[in-house]
Chain A
Amino acid sequence: MNNCCFIIILIMTSLLQISSASAESAKDNYRTYCMQCHGMAGQGMGLNIQDMSVQPRDHTDTKAMSTRTDSELFKVIKEGGLAISKSSLMPPWADTLTDNEIDDLVKHLRKLCQCDNQTK
Chain B
Amino acid sequence: MNSLNMTTPLGKWLLLTLALFSLVTASPAHAGDLDLLNKHNCSSCHALTGPAPSTLAALWQRKGPDLFYAGNKYRQEWLETWLQNPKRIRPAGMFYMNHIKPGPKRNMVDTSSLSQHLQLNSSDAKSIAATLATLKENRSLIQNEKHDPKLSPGPLGEMMFDKIYGCMACHQIEPGFGGLSGPEVYTAGTRLKAEFMLSYIRSPQAWDTKVWMPNAHLPDNNIQKLVNYMINLSKKSYNE
Residues of A within 8 A of B (CB): 1-4, 6-7, 21, 24, 28-29, 31-33, 35-37, 39-41, 45-53, 80, 87-96
Contacts and interface: CB of A to CB of B under 8 A. Distances in A.
Q: Is chain A's interface secondary structure helix, strand, loop, or mixed overall?
A: loop
Given A35-B97, A41-B102, A51 B212 contact: no
Interface in B202-217: 203, 205, 210, 212, 214-217
A3 B14 CA distance: 11
A51 B178 contact: yes
A7 B97 contact: no
Given A1-B1, A96-B214, A39 B168 contact: no
24 contacts: A3-B2, A3-B4, A6-B2, A32-B56, A36-B170, A36-B179, A37-B169, A40-B97, A40-B102, A45-B102, A45-B105, A45-B106, A48-B179, A80-B214, A88-B165, A91-B169, A91-B214, A92-B217, A95-B205, A95-B214, A95-B217, A96-B205, A96-B212, A96-B215
Contacts of A88: 163-166
Given A3-B11, A35-B97, 18 more contacts: A3-B10, A4-B10, A7-B10, A24-B55, A24-B56, A29-B56, A32-B59, A32-B212, A36-B179, A39-B106, A47-B180, A47-B181, A48-B169, A49-B106, A52-B179, A88-B165, A92-B215, A95-B217
Contacts of A95: 203, 205, 214-215, 217
